[in-house]
Every structure is written in C-alpha cells, then in structure tokens.
Amino acid sequence: MNSNVWIAGGGVICGIGNNLPECLEAFKRMEPGMAHMEYLHSVHRHTFPVVEVKASNATLAEWTGMPEHISRTALLSCVAAQEAWNSTGLGDISQYRVGFISANTVGGMDKTEDFFADYLQDTSKGHLNQVVHHECGAITELVADAMGIRHHISTISTACSSSANALMYGARLLKNNMVDVVIAGGTDALTRFTLNGFNTLMILDPAASRPFDDTRTGLNLGEGAGYVVLVSDALAAELPATRQPWCRLSGYANANDAYHQTASSPDGTGNFLAMQGALEMSGIKPEDIDYINLHGTGTQNNDAAEGAAIARLFAPEYPPVSSTKSFTGHTLGASGGIEAVFSAWSVKEGIIYPNANFHKQMKELPFAPVTKFTAGQELKHVMSNSFGFGGNCSSLVFSKNAQS
C-alpha cells in the first residue's frame, strides 16, 4: 500500500497543440488558442471565443483508426491515450494488466445534438448510431476497445475535477496491486449544451479569458484530452534507460465544501482542504511546493476562492503560480488530465508555464501569476489544482524523486 506511483509518460491534445511538443511550443511562443468556432455549430459562434482542437473528426479518425461517425469526445481521448502509452516505451500493451480510468462530462452529446436536429424535423430521420454512445461510460469503453485494454475500465464524472480524480483512483489500483499499469486522465469535446449552459450561468467571457486578473469576467470553453501513464516501483524499474519516469505522483486529496451547485465557497474551504490533504500525503510542507498549476478558470468566484485558499495555506511566501487555461481554455472533464501532463512534465524539465492575458493583480490577493515561460528550473514538487461544480475539489502533487 505504501509503494510509489510513478508517471511513466503522458499525452495531450487540446486547442494549442495536437501533442505535448506542440503544446510546449505554444507556451514558449505565448500563443493562446482562443478563436471563433470552426467545428462547433452555434448561434454564439461570433459571440464567445472557444479553444477548439485544430482537427476535424475525419482527421482525428484517421490518426486513431477509429470510425469517423463516433463522438469527438472518444476520438480526442484515443489520440491522447495512444500518445501517452507510446511515450513510455512499454511496448505491447497486451503484455500487462492495464487499467484505463478516463473522465468526461459530456459523453457522446455532440452526436446526440446532431441526431435530434434532424429527428425533431422528421421523426423518420436521424441515425441511431449517433445516440447509442451518449452516456459518459460509453466513451471510455470505445477507447479501451480501440487500444485493447481489458483488465479494469472505469469512468469518472465529477465535473471539472473529474480527471484529477481519475489519477487518484488509478493510483489506488496500483497500490492495491489490482493492475500493473494505469492510463489515467480525461477527455471532453465542445457541445452546444455545454456552451449554452455556461452562458446561462453568465460566466463566459466574450474576449480572451484572463485568469487571476482583476478585470476578469469569465472563462473560455475549450476541448481536448490528457492522460498520464501510472506505474508501480516494480514496473518503473523495468523501463528502458531512455524512457525513465518523469516524476512521482506523491500526493493527492479530494474535498467537498458542499457550498453551492456551481460555485466555490468564498473562502475556498474545499480548495484549502484538498491542497492541504495532498501536501500531507506527500509528506511535505507548503514551502516545499515550487510551482502551482492553478485551476484558474477566470471567473470571479473561482479565482477569488482559489486565491483565498492559497493565501491561507502558503502565506507569507508564495510559489510561482499560473493557469494554463489561459492558453487551452477550460476543457472541463479533461482539464485535470491535460494539466497533470503539463505539471508532470514541468517537474521533469523544470518548466514554469506563463499566465496569458494577465495585466492587473487582483486587489484581494497578495500574489500574482507569472507571465513568462521559463525552463531549466529546479522544481522538486509541483501542485495541480482541479476544482469542480458541486464543491468537488481535488489537488495533485508531482515530485521529482522518491525522497521528499
């Protein structure tokens, strides 16, 4: 139960890159991905910028070998999960007991929306294959089948903390020797339902979002997928010399302040408890954290609550912080997985990511996010925050070596 959980590799696709190297280049060039909608058809196309993956379903299907007619959510998932597996050097996936723990919040809703547009006009129209994969678990099963994963398949759906919770669950599977290796993370595609829902909450920004900026007015929705490959001490020791683990998943915690269905408590109680719990599991102190990848959505409530929790836990000295959502947009159920890949890589390569569009420090906070990309830093411990609707708050800690 006390064995280490290692990050053996990772993969990501989002609106700033179709793989991890492309994403890193976007960060270096300070090129956020916000733009008008190209693939999502909405009356809000020119009202709200989004961060779409720059590839059609046909292209994604070609990359993955999956059929074009299935949900974009599954196609994105398969791209990132395959990249994650290939990055490890583990070889034939059938040689291992593999767990696939994948998060999402929209399932196959993109295809369901297309179905009903035709069906409501004429009940004899619409293809049923557009609705059979509507629920979230179907997306996970489609990708598991495509990759030949059979041993343990689970779907997590806890709003914006979904992917972070997938990593926690995967770590527990490893620690209990239920599998040899776990591909954990999440995926979500843009849908009209999601866009309209966030618009109803009045938390979409008609301009590029500005997380942790005093002038912030909301978030930009994004899409994508991100997965890390979790392995135990035994399997980490068998990795090729050229494919050593990126880092450890040394700590994690989930907390729920149950304050509101769509808002965090003003003082960030759940956020604080999640970060505190992750530190305790890691066996480190707040001052040991070298960088925090913020949840940082750009809404008034989220940034104030997360900021208050950080101020409470880390005062008087604050580590560098930034929100990569200022580049990728808020990818909902995928965000924790995408940001886990970025955070694990930041430990491996000493990277601190910039916070785009930041100009004015929040009046109520004693710290501000970093705005420049830096590499080659000595980062021993990096925290990644994912805070979801309903108060479901999760924090992860990635660490450089086996000793804290």
Provide the residue type at 61 as one letter: A
User: CATH number of the domain at 5-243, please?
Assistant: 3.40.47.10
Exposure string for 362-400, b = 16+ CB within 10 A, e = fewer = beebebbbbeebeeeeebbbbbbbbbbbbbbbbbbbbbb
**Res 163 pLDDT > 70:** yes
Whether the predicted pLDDT of 362 surpasses 50: yes
Least confident of 183-187, 242-246, 374-378: 242-246
Averaged over 286-303, what is the pLDDT?
96
Say what the pLDDT of residue 162 is. 96
pLDDT for 16 equals 98
DSSP H or E segment with residue 226: strand 224-232
What would the mean pLDDT of 235-250 be, rounded to a whole number?
Answer: 91
pLDDT for res 91: 92
What's the average model confidence in pLDDT over 335-363? 97
When pLDDT is cut at 50, 70 and 90, the band that residue 2 belongs to is low
Give the chain's mean pLDDT.
94
- Convert the pLDDT of each residue in 113-153 to its tens digit: 988 888 788 877 777 777 888 899 999 999 999 999 999 99
Given a cut of 50, whether residue 404 has pLDDT beyond it is no
Question: Which positions ≥6 away from 353 have C-beta within 8 Å?
Answer: 27, 293, 322, 324, 327, 342, 346, 370, 373
Distance CA 56, CA 114 (A): 16
Domain borders along the chain are 5-243, 249-399
- Where residue 402 falls among pLDDT bands split at 50, 70, 90? low
Considering only CA atoms, give the Rg of the chain: 20
What are 161's two structure tokens?
Answer: 């903390």
pLDDT at 388 over 60: yes
Q: Is the pLDDT of residue 270 over 60?
A: yes
List, in sequence order, the alpha helices (H) in 48-133. Answer: 57-64, 72-86, 109-119
What is the C-alpha to C-alpha distance for residues 301 and 32, in angstroms, rounded to an integer? 23
3-state secondary structure of 152: strand
pLDDT in tens, 47-67: 999 999 999 999 999 999 999
User: Which whole-number Å values give the CA distances from 37 to 40, 57, 68, 334, 360, in the listed order?
Assistant: 6, 14, 20, 19, 28
Q: Please give the pLDDT value at position 259.
A: 77
The predicted pLDDT at position 403 comes to: 44
Flag whether pLDDT at 1 surpasses 60: no
Identical fold, 5-243 and 249-399: yes
Q: Tell me, which fold does domain 249-399 have in CATH?
A: Peroxisomal Thiolase; Chain A, domain 1 (3.40.47)
Query: Which pTM does this prediction carry?
Result: 0.96
Q: Is it the case that residue 110 has pLDDT exceeding 50?
A: yes
Where is pLDDT greater, at 388 or 78? 78
Catalytic residues: 160, 295, 330
**Please, how many CA atoms are within 13 Å of residue 364, restricted to the half-sphere of its CB?**
16
Residue pair 350/120 in contact (Cβ under 8 Å)? The answer is no
Work out the average pLDDT over 221-249. Answer: 93
Q: CB burial class (10 A; 0-12, 13-18, 19+) of residue 93?
A: middle
- Confidence (pLDDT) at 225: 98
Return the H-helix or E-strand segment holding 348: helix 335-349
